[in-house]
Amino acid sequence: MNPKDSVHLLFFSSSVPSLGTNELFTVLQSNYSNVNIKRAHLTDYIKGTPVEKWLTPKLLLSSNWPLIHLSDILRLLTLWKFGGIYLDLDIVVTKSLENLKNFAGAQDDERIANGVMGFDQDRLGHRLVEECLTELMKDFRGDLWAHNGPDIVTKVIQKQCNLKSVAHMINSSSCKGFQVFHPSVFYPIPYQEWERYFYEDLDGQTLDLIRKSKIIHVWNKLSKWEPVTDKSPYSAVAKQFCPHVFEKCKSRF
C-alpha cells in the first residue's frame, strides 16, 4: 500500500536468525524492493544519543518485561535518530500512509497507543520525540507494562495539546501541528475484543470496521498463540495486503 516509502525492519537479536526467519526475510526482499532488513547492535545504536549512559543492562534487568520496555525505548530512539513512521510488527497496513507526519492514534478515550506513530525530522516532531525520551529517562517504571510506552507518549501529547482528555485531542487544532487519530483509524478492534480478528465474521461487522481503518493491530500479546483460520477476518486482510508473506506463513502469519 506504500510502495514509494522506504521500509526498514530493524532487529537487535545477538543470535543468528533461524532458517525459517531467513526464509521470510528472503520472501520480503525478493518481492518488495522498498523493504530493507537491518541488524543493529544495541551498544553502537545508542552511541551519541540521549540514552547512551542511561540505557544499561541493570536498568533492563530491573524491569518485569525487559524486552517489551526495551522495544518502547528503541522505537522512540529510532524516531529521534531518523524521523518517520514507526509500526509494530503485529499490524497490517490497509491504506496509504503517505503525507502523514507528526501523529499517533488513540487506543481509547484515555490513552494514546505507541504501536503506530510518526514523528517527522522537522522542529515539532524532533522536539516531541525528544520530550518522550526525556520523560522516559526521568520516570522509567519496570513494574508497569504500559508506563514506558503508551503512557509516556500520552503524557507528552497531553502537554502539547494542553488537554487532559485523549478524546478531546482527536483531530483537535489545540495540538498545534500534531494529529491524534480516532481509535477506528489504527485500532478498529480494541484489545478486549482481539478474538474478533480470528473468528469467522458471520455478520460482517468486523470486516466493515477494518475497511474503514488505515491499519489493523491484532494485539500480539494476547493473540500470539491463536492460529489464523481460512475464514477469519485476519486471514482475509492478510491475503489481500500481505500475499507473499501470508502464502509462506499461512496459519502462523
User: Can you give the pLDDT at residue 46?
Assistant: 98
Between CA 86 and CA 78 the distance in angstroms is 8
The single-letter code of the amino acid at 40 is A
User: Can you give the pLDDT at residue 70?
Assistant: 98
Residue 15 DSSP one-character state: S
Between CA 72 and CA 139 the distance in angstroms is 13
User: Can you give the pLDDT at residue 16?
Assistant: 80
Per-residue pLDDT of the chain (253 residues; tens, 9 = 90+): 788 899 999 999 877 888 888 888 898 999 999 999 999 999 999 999 999 999 999 999 999 999 999 999 999 999 999 999 999 999 999 999 999 999 999 999 999 999 999 999 999 999 999 999 999 999 999 999 999 999 999 999 999 999 999 999 999 999 999 999 999 999 999 999 999 999 999 899 999 999 999 999 999 999 999 999 999 999 999 999 999 888 887 766 6
Distances (CA, A) of 106 to 65, 146, 151, 181, 225: 23, 14, 11, 6, 26
Between CA 13 and CA 78 the distance in angstroms is 16
Residue 17 DSSP one-character state: P
In the chain, where are the structural domains located? 1-40, 58-90+97-183, 188-252
